Structure 1
């Protein structure tokens, strides 16, 4: 199991950690309009799943903006999902304030369905650990990075290379 700290304090990751090469588990999260969204809703496309503790923090905001800006270069066969436990209303406000229109922000606040399915729930904080997953058109996890210190940035270039390789 991946060891993670948040502000240099160890945290326990809950759920079943997914591995590269495994079929990605399905989950149900909420769109900004409170409608349910599942992984299967984007079947047939390559998915970049960017996971952040809270959009209203500096690193999370930067991570989400980076992937939003990269979306155009990835093409129409790629869907970028940003998942946090922020309420859908807060995510919608953040997207408006940041002109983030090339990604889909999704909330896992209700039952931590995504976090448990991918093994990234920081149990002590009830937040999701900063991570990036790439799921190919066939639903297989082809890339995974769970950032070891929750306040650090993920490796953006490796994640974007993995998306291109999965297409």
Structure 2
């Protein structure tokens, strides 16, 4: 598993590490209107999955806004997943004018977190990471950000998403 810290303190990631070339694990999360959403709902599309601890924090907010701003130019399905409650995500989305990506919650079962190896055991938050999944559901790019308070490599993630088309 990736060595990850949160505010420089080591954390334990629960689940299996996902690697380039793997078949993307299916998962179940909630939309902002409490409907179940799975990877299968995006079948046939290239997906850039941006994972954040909480959209209500500075780096997570900027990460989500950045991918929202880029979503139209890269023409792939952008998904942000966090442990925030769907109601909080909906409020944040409206306040920040986010319209170009799906904002989904893993709070109910931590199903995504465990299947992608990003559930932080000590905090029950998701560890900052990026996954690009092609239209055949093969993982083509992975970044487990080593320090959760740092930004991911936006340029590499965006290039990987474009290349997966």
Which TM-score band applies after superposition, normalised by the shorter structure? Answer: over 0.9
Runs of 4+ with >4 A deviation: none
Q: Structure 2 CA distance, aligned partners of 1:64 and 1:22? A: 25
Over residues 1-56 of structure 1, what are the superposed CA-to-partner deviations in whole Å (9 max), with x where a residue is unaligned? 10000000000000111111000000000000000000010010000000000000
When the two structures are superposed, what TM-score results if normalisation uses the length of structure 1? 0.98
Listed as ranges, the gaps of 5+ residues in structure 2 are none
Whether 2:17 is the aligned partner of 1:17: answer yes
Which residue matches 2:37? 37
State yes or no: 1:46 paired with 2:54.
no
Q: SS where residue 41 of structure 2 aligns?
A: helix
Q: Tell me what 2:148 maps to.
A: 150
- Residue 74 of structure 1: CA displacement? 1.2
In 1, distance between residues paired with 2:42 and 2:111?
A: 17
The answer for unaligned runs of 5 or more in structure 1 is none
Q: Equivalent residue for 1:120?
A: 118
Aligned residues: 165
Where 1:159 maps in the other structure, the secondary structure is: helix
Take 2:79 and 2:19, find their aligned partners in 1: how far apart are those partners?
Answer: 19
> 2 CA distance for matches of 1:10 and 1:55?
22
Which secondary structure does the structure 2 equivalent of 1:160 belong to? helix
1:4 equivalent in structure 2: 4
Q: Deviations over 1:93-118 (max 9, x none)?
A: 01000100000000000010000010
Question: Using the alignment, how far apart are the partners of 2:135 and 2:72 within structure 1?
Answer: 18
Output the CA distance in 1 between the equivalents of 2:55 and 2:16: 24
Aligned to 1:132: 130
SS in 1 for 2:87: helix
* SS of residue in 2 equivalent to 1:10: strand
Q: Please, what is the CA RMSD of the aligned residues?
A: 0.4
CA distance in 1, matches of 2:10, 2:71: 33
